[in-house]
Homo-oligomer: A and B are copies of this chain.
Amino acid sequence: MTPSTDRPLNFDVLHEDAHTEARVGKLKTLHGEVDTPAYMPVGTHGAVRCLTPDQVQATGSQMILANTYHLHLRPGEEIVNDLGGLHEFMGWSGPILTDSGGFQVFSLSDWNKMEESGVTFKSPIDGKKIELTPEKAIQIQNVLGADVIMAFDHCPPYPATEEEVADAVARTTRWTERSKNAHSRPDVQSLFGIVQGGVFEDLRQRSVEELLPMDFPGYAIGGVSVGEPPEDMHRIAAFTAPLLPKDKPRYLMGIGVDRDLLAGIRAGVDLFDCVLATRNARNSHLFSRTGTIRIKNQQYERDTNPIDEHCSCYTCKNFSLGYLRHLYARRETLAGTLGSIHNIHFLQDLMLAARQMIQLGEFETFHDNYPESFRDWRRESF
């Protein structure tokens, strides 16, 4: 692949909305470009569930996320490296982002112990103790070889007291500094810092102020989508995003519900990731402009309509609700494939609409009138 830039990351804001913080941008990596705001599907074990890379690309996805925690456990970063690095390994030639693994250590491990050095947890595979430190998390990500890698942070649970969150912010700052010092491949991988602070605005502000001097090529807002009410998440995104450098990409972690994406875009966020699109698809919940479709319901048994008449994905162009219901009822794995294609395409279409609405100066109207505004956006605007 020809490098699209001589730096590992290049970000240009192409258009700023006059009415909100929303912006349209272009993220350039050594593995290709990403139009922002962008939604990244998640390939936990180095594969977006049920989909080939070709199918992921056909949904309009330009960049994907893979999980450091899972890939470290199996097959292990050394095997990924022996198989050519993450891009070659999973057959995805476009940009990839890896998380730091910290979130999974806290949320998925039965047992974990946090110290200043890092976190120790019991491997779910063989019960062995594994220590994840800022240095180790970065080293694993350096070996995996994603285009964007994440600093090792401390993401407290929700709810947490202001004192607990303040501690997490302070620890995150120290761990982020160590992450930066450990990063051995800044020529080909871009390390982002992660802002913590929970639902407390002053702590968010403090976290931003402590991270900005480290001058990362991009910043994430972490510690959201951990159980807090959507209003709090929207408020924190709207408060925090504008504190981050205008000329650098902003990434709101773990967000993938349509209204939350729009709230994030409105706040000035450029990147999102979430497993919901694919997980919901496997659990027979399909997105549509008229609300979620629970495809196993008998009402769809003889329904010749597509999931969403406004959708142009492979699934909607070729298959009826009745057929999809049959596949889900028979537990055919093709159900998960066709559902995931649609759900991801739905979100990518929403991103495309948002980008175009921002460029037309109509994003606020689009946001305020969602989902009605999404039904006919192609027709009304062009």
Contact = CB atoms under 8 A, between A and B. Distances in A.
Interface of A: 45-47, 49-55, 74-75, 79, 82-84, 88-91, 301-302, 304, 314, 318-320, 322-323, 326-327, 329-330, 332-334, 336-338
Given A47-B334, A318-B53, A323 B74 contact: no
A319 B301 CA distance: 38
Nearest to A302: B82
B334 A52 contact: yes
Contact of A304 (B46, B83, B302, B338): B83
A323 B89 contact: yes
A314 B57 CA distance: 15
Given A89-B323, A323-B91, A337-B337, A330 B45 contact: yes
A314 B83 contact: no
Contacts of A322: 75, 79, 82-83, 89
A49 B334 contact: yes
Please tell me how many copies of the chain the complex holds: 2
Given A79-B322, A302-B82, A333 B91 contact: no
Residue among A55, A318, A319, A323 with max Cβ neighbours from chain B (10 Å)? A323
A283 to B, nearest CB: 14
Contact of A51 (B54, B88, B301, B334): B334
B83 A337 contact: no
Contacts of A302: 79, 82-83
Contacts of A318: 53, 91
A319 B333 CA distance: 21
A323 B46 contact: yes
A306 to B, nearest CB: 11
A55 B341 CA distance: 14
Contacts of A304: 82-84
A49 B332 contact: yes
Nearest to A318: B91
B91 A301 contact: no
Contacts of A332: 45, 47, 49
Given A83-B302, A83-B323, A333 B333 contact: yes
Contact of A75 (B49, B84, B326, B338): B326
Contacts of A88: 320
26 contacts: A45-B330, A45-B332, A47-B327, A50-B334, A50-B337, A52-B55, A52-B314, A53-B318, A74-B326, A74-B330, A75-B301, A75-B326, A75-B329, A79-B301, A79-B302, A82-B302, A83-B302, A83-B322, A84-B304, A89-B323, A90-B323, A91-B319, A91-B323, A333-B333, A333-B336, A333-B337
A85 to B, nearest CB: 11
Nearest to A45: B330
A304 to B, nearest CB: 6
Q: 8 closest A-B pairs (Cβ-Cβ)?
A: A91-B318, A83-B322, A82-B302, A333-B333, A45-B330, A75-B326, A47-B334, A50-B333
A335 to B, nearest CB: 9
Contact of A338 (B46, B49, B52, B74): B52
Nearest to A315: B52
Given A52-B334, A79-B326, A91-B318, 6 more contacts: A45-B330, A49-B334, A51-B334, A53-B318, A82-B322, A89-B323
Contacts of A79: 301-302, 322, 326
